[in-house]
Chain A
Amino acid sequence: MFWNQKIETLTPAELSDLQLKRLKKTLESVQNVEFYQKQLKSAGIKPRDIRTLDDVSRLPFTRKQDLRDGYPFGFFAVPLREVVRIHTTSGTTGKPTVVGYTRNDLATWADLIARNMTMVGVTEDDVFQNMVNYGMFTGGLGFHYGAEAIGATVIPSATGNTRRQIEMINDFGVTVIHCTPSYAMHLAEVAEEMDSPLESLRIGLFGAEPWSDSMRTELEKRLGVTAYDSYGLSELFGPGVAFECQEREGLHIWHDCYLVEIIDPVTGEVCGDGERGELVVTPLAKEAMPLLRYRTGDITMLMEDGCICGRAKKIARITGRSDDMLVIRGINVFPSQIEHVLLQIAEVGSQFMVYVDRINHLDEMTIDVEINREYFSGELADLSRIQKKVVKELRDTLELRTTVRLVEPGTLPRFEGKAKRVIDRRNGL
Chain B
Amino acid sequence: MDTYVIRQVSVFSENRPGRLAAIARALQDEKINILAFSIAEADGFGVVRALVDRPDRAFETLGSLGFNVAFTDVIAVKMRDEPGGLYEIARILGDAQINIEYSYAYSGKEGAVLILRVDDVQSAIQALLESGAGSMESSAFQ
Contact = CB atoms under 8 A, between A and B. Distances in A.
Given A379-B10, A408-B12, A373 B43 contact: no
Interface string B70-103: 1110000000000000000000000000000100
A322 B55 CA distance: 52
Nearest to A366: B44
A371 B43 contact: no
A411 B14 contact: yes
A143 to B, nearest CB: 34
A377 B70 contact: yes
A410 B66 CA distance: 7
Nearest to B45: A406
A376 interface: yes
Interface residues of A, number: 18
Nearest to A388: B43
A409 B44 contact: no
Interface in B32-74: 40, 42-47, 66-72
Residue among A371, A377, A378 with the highest chain B CB neighbour number at 10 A: A378
A190 to B, nearest CB: 14
A410 B64 CA distance: 12
A377 B8 CA distance: 12
Given A371-B12, A379-B72, A408 B42 contact: no
B13 interface: yes
A258 to B, nearest CB: 46
**SS of B interface (majority):** strand
A52 interface: no
Contact of A376 (B8, B40, B68, B101): B68
Contacts of A373: 68
B46 A380 contact: yes
Given A378-B47, A407-B14, A411-B14, A383 B70 contact: no
A4 interface: no
Given A408-B67, A408-B68, A379 B47 contact: yes
Contacts of A387: 42-43
Give the interface centre of B12, B13, B14 by most chain A CB atoms within 10 Å: B12
B88 to A, nearest CB: 27
A409 B68 CA distance: 7
A248 interface: no
A373 B12 CA distance: 10
Interface string A397-415: 0000000011111110000
17 contacts: A371-B12, A376-B68, A377-B70, A377-B72, A378-B8, A378-B10, A378-B71, A379-B10, A379-B72, A381-B101, A384-B42, A406-B44, A407-B14, A408-B14, A408-B67, A410-B66, A411-B66
Interface of B: 8, 10, 12-14, 40, 42-47, 66-72, 101
Given A378-B71, A408-B13, A411-B66, 12 more contacts: A378-B47, A383-B12, A383-B42, A383-B45, A383-B47, A384-B43, A405-B43, A405-B44, A406-B14, A408-B14, A408-B67, A410-B66
